[in-house]
């Protein structure tokens, strides 16, 4: 397998029951007299471009916070894309001690520091909560002659192929790499800075296939513009019924993407506690249940230091995988 960074494309727990009436949620009681003050604008960094999984999660949380008046001040969401998340999370890293900076995480939060010279590691930030994990679906153009994953593997063994993903050495790279290794074919990985860019490339036949979060491309799957071939998770979501998992084929890779919430390094303890209590309310709303369902995520919720430990363990595991395939030293 070769690792192709095309410079033209690469830049730099239970679900709640729905209610007929709006749910009345009390604002969290943790240190309200100190934080948040209500006078400070919350600076919410989204480390990728609009329309991707990280962007969708952040804006879904913000909508819930606003709907139920859980945050007393204004919230300013800013897409700070670049470097597979390095730009956005680097910006948050520079706000050490600031209780009014916040960001959502994804797989790149773990993998980017493994392969780039970032000044930060996942453990540097103040962990709030792991809110969900998600997995990837491998798709081809809906006009492709390839109808199923068996044909795809057979074709990939016979002819050189490329597979697109968002970001460089991250989960989008790890998933097809492990699958190809187990299934016995090789491919070139082509990195994009956004899902919209890589989808355009696939639909224009500049790519042979791509991986993506089902929630980001479900509309194109349902319309027939994209054809799903295999899912990397343990269980196929309802929206992908009939699509086999990699485990079904005997190629289980055991990799999921952590989606969570973090504050800058050394954020005040009262800010961390306030956000933990707030997110406990957010995940119980029917809107969050709908977000999980519509984006085909697995609700996996842990808080505070336990989330910090999860990030550290995930980074170590990803590092072992990337070193084993020679992606990093």
pLDDT tens, position by position, for the chain (329 residues)? 544 433 333 223 332 323 233 444 544 444 445 799 989 999 999 999 998 889 999 999 999 999 999 999 999 999 999 998 999 999 999 999 999 999 999 988 998 898 889 999 999 999 999 998 878 999 999 999 999 999 999 999 999 899 999 887 678 888 999 899 999 999 999 999 889 999 999 999 999 999 998 888 999 999 999 999 999 987 888 789 899 999 999 998 877 778 999 999 999 999 999 999 999 999 999 999 999 888 888 778 999 999 999 899 888 878 887 888 787 87
Same domain, 236 and 147: yes
Domain identity same for 164 and 236:
yes
Give yes or no: residues 141 and 234 share one domain: yes
Q: Is residue 25 helix, strand or coil?
A: coil
Q: Which domain holds residue 223?
A: 137-240
Q: What is the pTM of this model?
A: 0.69
Cα 260 to chain centroid distance, Å, stands at 9
Count of structural domains, the chain: 2
H helix runs in the chain, sequence order: 53-67, 86-93, 107-115, 149-158, 171-183, 195-203, 214-223, 269-282, 286-294, 304-324
CATH (domain of 236): 3.40.190.10
């Amino acid at each position: 397998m070769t690792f192709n960074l095309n410079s033209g494309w690469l830049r730099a727990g239970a679900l709640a029951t729905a209610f007929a009436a709006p749910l009345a949620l009390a604002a969290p009681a943790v240190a309200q007299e100190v934080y948040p003050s209500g006078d400070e604008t919350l600076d919410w960094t989204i480390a990728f471009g609009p329309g991707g999984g990280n962007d969708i999660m952040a804006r879904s949380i913000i909508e819930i916070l606003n709907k139920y008046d859980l945050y007393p001040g204004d919230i300013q969401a800013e897409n700070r894309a670049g470097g597979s998340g390095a730009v956005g999370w680097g910006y948050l890293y520079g706000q050490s001690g600031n209780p009014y900076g916040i960001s959502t995480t994804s797989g790149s939060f773990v993998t980017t520091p493994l392969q780039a010279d970032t000044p930060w590691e996942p453990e540097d930030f103040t962990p709030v909560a792991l809110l969900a994990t998600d997995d990837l679906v491998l798709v081809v153009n809906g006009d492709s002659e390839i109808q199923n994953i068996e044909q795809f593997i057979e074709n990939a063994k016979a002819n050189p192929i490329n597979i697109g993903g968002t970001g460089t050495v991250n989960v989008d790279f790890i998933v097809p790499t492990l699958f190809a290794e187990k299934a016995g074919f090789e491919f070139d990985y082509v990195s994009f800075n956004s899902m919209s860019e890589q989808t355009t490339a696939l639909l224009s036949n500049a790519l042979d296939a791509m991986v993506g979060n089902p929630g980001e491309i479900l509309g194109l799957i349902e319309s027939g513009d994209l054809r799903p071939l295999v899912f990397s998770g343990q269980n196929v979501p309802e929206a992908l019924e009939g699509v086999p998992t990699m485990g079904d084929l005997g190629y289980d890779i055991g990799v999921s993407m952590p989606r969570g919430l973090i504050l800058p390094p050394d954020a005040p303890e009262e800010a961390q506690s306030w956000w933990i209590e707030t997110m406990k309310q957010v995940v119980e709303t029917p809107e969050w249940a709908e977000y999980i369902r519509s984006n085909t995520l697995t609700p996996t919720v842990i808080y505070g230091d336990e989330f910090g430990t999860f990030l550290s363990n995930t980074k170590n595991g990803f590092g072992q995988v990337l070193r084993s395939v020679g992606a990093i030293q």
